[in-house]
């Protein structure tokens, strides 16, 4: 049984006032056995780390550059993220793949940078609606996995999140049978490539996870947690998701 994980991706939401929600989460009785991570906008990393205090909540960033430093206006590097006390970084989110033209090779380079800085990478993969309708979902996802996860990746420093693009922020979620199929495909690919350690990578599901559907999603085989967008913005929504994960 792999350790469970609930990751909140705040995206470009939240000025400092949003930290009150993190404070509420940090003061709640969090269940043992679940790694809880909040990924705020980069401007809040320092203050989020402070708000998390001695609670079990870890902080993550939403992207990093592949280089540790240099003339890259507007970017932040993995060592800079690590310096804030953050321990995770989301990489290859579909919004960055679409909006910033990030390729699988870019994601792999960023994942190598994250590892070098001591951060755990949360690598996002997922098919578009057209790809699913054409029956190509599994092929697309396996190709993304092969090219976005760098050689030498370890289960301690890399987590994979399956996020069907059409389920993100739409209120639609993948069917349990489709999540089962994709996660089984990811697992096969990981064990083919990494041998025994391939069985130890955690696989998260993301895309419109809410308190009302969390239990059903966490009951799916080989789902170890969730990458949560909208429902991670308030303690009122995120805490019940964490509780459902602990109970699964």
Residues 217 and 176 sit within 8 Å (Cβ to Cβ): yes
14, 60, 225, 229: residue in contact with ligand PGA (rule CB under 6 A): 229
**Residue in the structure block whose two tokens are 């599901």:** 205
Query: Nearest approach, Cβ of 11 to ligand PGA (angstroms)?
Result: 7
What would the two tokens of residue 55 be?
Answer: 């609670």
Rounded to an integer, what distance in angstroms lies between the CA atom of residue 47 and that of residue 49? Answer: 5
Residue 192, token pair as written in the block: 């083919």
Task: State which residue, 106 or 237, has the beta carbon closest to ligand PGA.
Answer: 237
Question: Is 93 designated active site?
Answer: yes
- Which residue's CB is nearer to ligand PGA, number 106 or number 163? 163
Q: Which stretch binds ligand PGA (CB under 6 A): 70-78, 128-136, 186-194, 205-213?
A: 205-213
Q: Find out whether 56 and 36 touch, Cβ atoms under 8 Å.
A: yes
Instruction: Check residue 169 for interaction with ligand PGA (CB under 6 A).
Output: yes
Instruction: Name which position in 209, 217, 220, 243 contacts ligand PGA (CB under 6 A).
Output: 209
Q: Which helix (H) or strand (E) holds 88?
A: strand 88-91
Is 230 one of the binding residues for ligand PGA (CB under 6 A)?
yes
DSSP 3-state of 205: strand
Task: Give the tokens for residue 105.
Answer: 């090779």
Q: What is the CA radius of gyration of the chain?
A: 17
Residue for token pair 């991570």: 37
Catalytic residue list contains 163? yes
Q: Which stretch binds ligand PGA (CB under 6 A): 65-73, 135-143, 203-211, 237-245?
A: 203-211
Nearest approach in angstroms of CB 90 to ligand PGA is 8
Residues that bind ligand PGA (CB under 6 A): 9, 163, 168-169, 206-209, 227-231
Question: Would you name the residues annotated as active-site residues?
Answer: 93, 163
């Amino acid at each position: 049984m792999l350790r469970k994980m609930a990751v909140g991706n705040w995206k470009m939401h939240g000025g400092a006032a949003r930290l009150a929600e993190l404070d509420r989460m940090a003061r709640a009785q969090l269940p043992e056995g679940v790694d809880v991570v909040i990924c705020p906008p980069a401007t809040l990393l320092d203050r989020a780390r402070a708000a998390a205090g001695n609670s079990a909540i870890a902080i993550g960033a939403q992207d990093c550059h592949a280089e540790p430093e240099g003339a890259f206006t507007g970017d932040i590097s993995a060592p800079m993220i690590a310096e804030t006390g953050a321990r995770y970084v989301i990489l290859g989110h579909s919004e960055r793949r679409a909006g910033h033209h990030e390729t699988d090779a870019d994601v792999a380079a960023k994942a190598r940078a994250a590892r070098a800085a001591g951060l755990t990478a949360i690598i996002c993969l997922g098919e578009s609606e057209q790809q699913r309708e054409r029956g190509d979902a599994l092929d697309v996802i396996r190709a993304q996995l092969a090219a976005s996860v760098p050689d030498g990746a370890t289960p301690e420093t890399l987590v994979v999140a399956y996020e069907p693009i059409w389920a993100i922020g739409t209120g639609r979620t993948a069917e349990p049978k489709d999540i089962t199929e994709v996660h089984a495909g990811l697992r096969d690919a990981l064990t083919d490539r990494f041998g025994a350690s391939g069985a130890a990578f955690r696989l998260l599901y993301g895309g419109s996870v809410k308190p009302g559907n969390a239990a059903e999603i966490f009951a799916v085989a080989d789902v170890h947690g969730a990458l949560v967008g909208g429902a991670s913005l308030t303690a009122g929504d995120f805490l019940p998701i964490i509780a459902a994960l602990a109970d699964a």
